């Protein structure tokens, strides 16, 4: 495959794409905005190692010095982790502005999908997608991730929608956008910290090859848009649903009281949940991300 001149590929990623070897995209918002230092950098490196162990090349995506980067060095991962929230959280609306100003951006799910598609990468592993926020009927707070899934042809592997969201409305929105939601070994939409949400998925598939075949057929037919593959958190790391729901409700109310909204709401809620649960949610977060990387790697290999 020919390389895109607008993308700064790492040598490893460039070689893999030119030689049609399997590659998966990884996001950088989880490094700068999703976890505290140094666990964020440790997790980023563990994710890359998990992909390589399965014979897949990881391409962590970010904007650095205005360059759209697919594949980062250990030093760049360290920089993103240490800088944290000082690095702009970058979605579709931000990419061109950050690039033109030679700035730095940690890419969200939507931002990573765009860069991955530009780079020729078709499979992307993340933690959980954004979605329709609770109370969106009044605030209209709906993540750009959902629109991106409806327009950009990348398969996104995640542990469902973050449980801080309105999962029922998120699924309704995805249906409107024509995004197929595939449950890996589950008929139910997982809720990030827990394996269950009470809402069903569109299709259940029990092997990565079937998922790869379905997405490959979507690409062959020229049907634009992504595919959402939901992969429940491993059972041993799944949190008690009633307990985490109560913690989330309290965190949402605290955010309202403090007037926190927009792109700042998710990092605030995740940090609040981590503190209240004594770090248990962070360990769950790390476990589910690694689980998603492994599934995404198997799907990418099956698409070759």
Residue 66 belongs to a domain with what CATH number? Answer: 3.40.1790.10
Q: Is residue 253 flagged as an active site residue?
A: no
197 within some domain: yes
45 within some domain: yes
251 within some domain: yes
pLDDT at 49: 98
What does the alpha-carbon distance between residue 75 and residue 80 come to, in Å, rounded to a whole number? 9
Read off the DSSP letter of residue 5.
Answer: T
Number of residues written out for the chain: 304
2 within some domain: no
Which residue has tokens 């499979």? 123
1 within some domain: no
37 within some domain: yes
Q: One of 48, 78, 148, 162 is an active-site residue; which one?
A: 162
Q: One of 27, 48, 78, 272 is an active-site residue; which one?
A: 27
Residues with Cβ within 8 Å of 185's Cβ and at least 6 positions away in sequence, in order, are: 204, 206, 232
What is the bridge-based pairing of β-strands 227-230 and 155-158? parallel
159 within some domain: yes
Threshold 0.95, pTM exceeds = no
pLDDT at 108: 97
pLDDT at 92: 98
pLDDT at 255: 81
pLDDT at 234: 97
Q: Is residue 53 flagged as an active site residue?
A: no
Instruction: Profile the chain (304 residues) by mean pLDDT over runs of 10 residues.
Output: 95 97 97 95 98 98 98 98 97 98 98 98 97 76 94 98 87 97 98 92 98 98 98 94 83 83 75 81 94 98 90
254 within some domain: yes
Q: Where are the alpha helices (DSSP H) in 37-91?
A: 39-53, 74-83
Which residue has tokens 């379905």? 214
pLDDT at 24: 98
* Structural domain for 127, as ranges: 7-302
pLDDT at 296: 99
- Count of domains for the chain: 1
Q: Please, are residues 55 and 304 in contact by the beta-carbon 8 Å criterion?
A: no
């Amino acid at each position: 495959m020919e390389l895109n001149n607008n993308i700064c590929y790492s040598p490893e990623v460039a070689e893999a794409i030119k030689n049609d070897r399997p590659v998966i995209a990884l996001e950088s918002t989880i490094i700068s905005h999703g976890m505290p230092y140094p666990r964020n950098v440790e997790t980023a490196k563990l994710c890359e190692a998990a992909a390589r162990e399965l014979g897949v090349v990881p391409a962590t995506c970010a904007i650095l010095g205005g360059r759209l980067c697919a594949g980062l060095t250990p030093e760049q991962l360290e920089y993103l982790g240490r800088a944290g929230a000082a690095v702009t959280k970058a979605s579709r609306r931000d990419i061109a502005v950050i690039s033109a100003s030679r700035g730095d951006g940690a890419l969200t799910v939507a931002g990573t999908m765009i860069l991955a598609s530009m780079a020729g990468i078709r499979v992307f592993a993340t933690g959980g997608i954004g979605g329709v926020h609770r109370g969106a009927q009044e605030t209209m707070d709906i993540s750009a991730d959902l629109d991106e899934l409806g327009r950009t042809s990348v398969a996104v592997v995640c542990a469902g929608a973050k449980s801080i969201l309105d999962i029922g409305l998120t699924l309704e929105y995805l249906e409107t956008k024509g995004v197929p939601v595939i449950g890996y070994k589950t008929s139910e939409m997982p809720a990030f910290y827990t394996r269950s949400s009470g809402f069903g998925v569109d299709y259940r598939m029990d092997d990565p090859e079937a998922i790869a075949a379905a997405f490959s057929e979507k690409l062959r037919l020229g049907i634009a848009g992504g595919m959402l593959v939901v992969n429940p958190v491993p059972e041993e790391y799944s949190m008690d649903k009633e307990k985490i729901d109560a913690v989330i409700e309290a965190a949402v109310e605290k955010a309202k009281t403090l007037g926190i909204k927009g792109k700042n709401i998710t990092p605030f809620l995740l940090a609040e949940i981590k503190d209240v649960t004594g770090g248990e949610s962070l360990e769950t977060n790390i476990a589910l991300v690694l689980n998603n990387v492994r599934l995404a790697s198997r799907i990418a290999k099956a698409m070759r």
